[in-house]
Every structure is written in structure tokens, then in C-alpha cells.
């Protein structure tokens, strides 16, 4: 059993939705001997410095995100691909703490399997950025702004994928357009989504 990291406590003390659920997931992750860290503003659990699972919340659900979820067996049928462009991670989604408590044993089994995946050094061959589907709104903007296309093409493949995934996640065209508009300057400055 691991101990909580005081640097991550603020994540669990914030007055936001899902706190009860976050605390239940935290107990499960720590109960599996994982190290607790703060990454991307979220509680992240690692084994020998390898990311295993992340806790995050959305408007309609909260989730455990298994970084190499695609490599896990899923006998309980609970792993979900967040969007069609997400290649490797998989989520287990919840809408209340009871759901987490009910499958705590299964979640621990999945975490232990994820640790074994890391110990074995298993990797996933991912699609290249050129194989990904670029949202129509972003393609239109790239066609209209040659400087933006040049700047986007100059980004590292990981940064390109980050933008494509982020823009693609929005369900409505209006939201995708707003996201593209918000990050156009950052792309032009040669920065990634989280830079």
C-alpha cells in the first residue's frame, strides 16, 4: 500500500464535482502500491516512473484512464475508447461512488495487469499523424491560412496529434471552431497544446 502525496492533496480538496468519486479511485490506486504524482493537473499513478492510471473528471462522468488500456484484457467489458482518435488509453467511467465501490476488486485487477504490461515493456504501434482524421473545421482553417498550415506542419508529431485529438473531442462543430480559434496563435508560435 502506498501513501498519498501531499503535493496531490489539493486535487482532492478542490470544491468541484466528483470529489467523493475521486477519493474512492485514489484509495484503489494507492492500495495497489502505485506512486501518486500530479501530472497535467490531475492525480496520476505510476509504477517505476511509468504512467499506469490517471483520475480525471468531465461534465457527465469521471474516469480512471489506463494509459496502455488497449493492451489490457477486458473480461468485465468496462474499458472505453474516449474518442475514435484515441489510440492507446482506455477509460473506465463512473457517474457515482457506488459504481466504483461495486467494481473495486476488478479495478485493482486491471491496475495489476497494467503494471505487468509495463514490467514486460509492451508497446503499442500507433498511427502516424498523417493517418489521423483531421476535423473538417481545422482542415478548412489550414487551407485558408498557409502560415498556420506551415506552423502546424513544423510541430512535432506528438504536438500535432495533441491538437488533432483535442479539436476532434468536441462533439459540436461550434465548439471545435472555438477551440481552433483559441489555439491558432499558439500553433503559429510553434507551441503544443500544453506548452
Residue 195 lies in a domain: no
Among 94, 119, 144, give the residue marking a domain's end.
119
In terms of domains, do 112 and 136 share one? no
The beta-strand segments (E) located in 40-175 are 42-47, 50-57, 62-66, 90-94
Cα–Cα distance between 193 and 164 in angstroms, integer?
10
Does an H or E element contain 39, and which? strand 35-39
Tell me how many domains the chain contains: 2
Domain boundaries, position 103: 9-119
In terms of domains, do 17 and 107 share one? yes
Alpha helix locations (H) across 1-83? 9-13, 19-31
Dump pLDDT digits (tens) for 119-138.
Answer: 999 998 877 766 678 899 99
Confidence class for position 85, pLDDT limits 50, 70, 90: low
Dump pLDDT digits (tens) for 93-107.
Answer: 999 999 999 999 999
Cα–Cα distance between 122 and 120 in angstroms, integer?
5
146-168 average pLDDT score: 90
Residue 3 lies in a domain: no
3 state SS of 137: helix
For the whole prediction, is pTM greater than 0.85? no
14-30 average pLDDT score: 93
In terms of domains, do 139 and 77 share one? no
CATH at 14: 3.90.1150
Cα–Cα distance between 64 and 27 in angstroms, integer?
12
Residue 46 lies in a domain: yes
In terms of domains, do 99 and 166 share one? no
Going 81 to 84 to 89 to 95, the CA torsion angle's sign is negative
Amino acid at each position: 500500500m502506498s501513501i498519498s502525496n501531499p503535493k496531490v492533496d489539493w486535487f482532492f480538496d478542490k470544491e468541484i464535482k466528483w470529489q467523493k468519486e475521486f477519493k474512492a479511485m485514489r484509495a484503489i490506486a494507492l492500495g495497489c502500491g502505485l506512486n501518486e504524482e500530479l501530472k497535467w493537473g490531475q492525480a496520476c499513478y505510476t509504477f517505476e516512473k511509468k504512467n499506469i492510471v490517471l483520475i480525471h473528471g468531465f461534465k457527465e462522468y469521471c474516469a480512471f484512464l489506463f494509459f496502455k488500456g488497449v493492451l489490457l484484457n477486458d473480461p468485465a467489458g468496462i474499458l472505453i475508447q474516449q474518442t475514435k482518435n484515441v489510440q492507446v488509453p482506455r477509460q473506465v467511467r463512473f457517474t457515482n461512488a457506488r459504481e466504483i465501490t461495486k467494481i473495486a476488486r476488478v479495478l485493482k485487477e486491471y491496475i495489476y495487469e497494467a503494471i505487468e504490461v509495463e514490467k514486460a515493456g509492451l508497446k503499442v504501434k500507433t498511427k502516424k499523424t498523417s493517418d489521423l482524421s483531421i476535423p473538417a473545421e481545422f482542415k478548412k482553417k489550414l487551407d485558408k491560412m498557409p502560415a498556420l498550415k506551415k506552423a502546424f506542419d513544423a510541430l512535432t508529431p506528438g504536438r500535432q496529434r495533441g491538437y488533432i485529438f483535442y479539436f476532434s473531442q468536441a462533439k459540436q462543430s461550434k465548439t471545435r471552431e472555438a477551440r481552433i480559434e483559441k489555439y491558432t496563435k499558439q500553433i503559429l508560435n510553434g507551441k503544443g497544446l500544453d506548452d
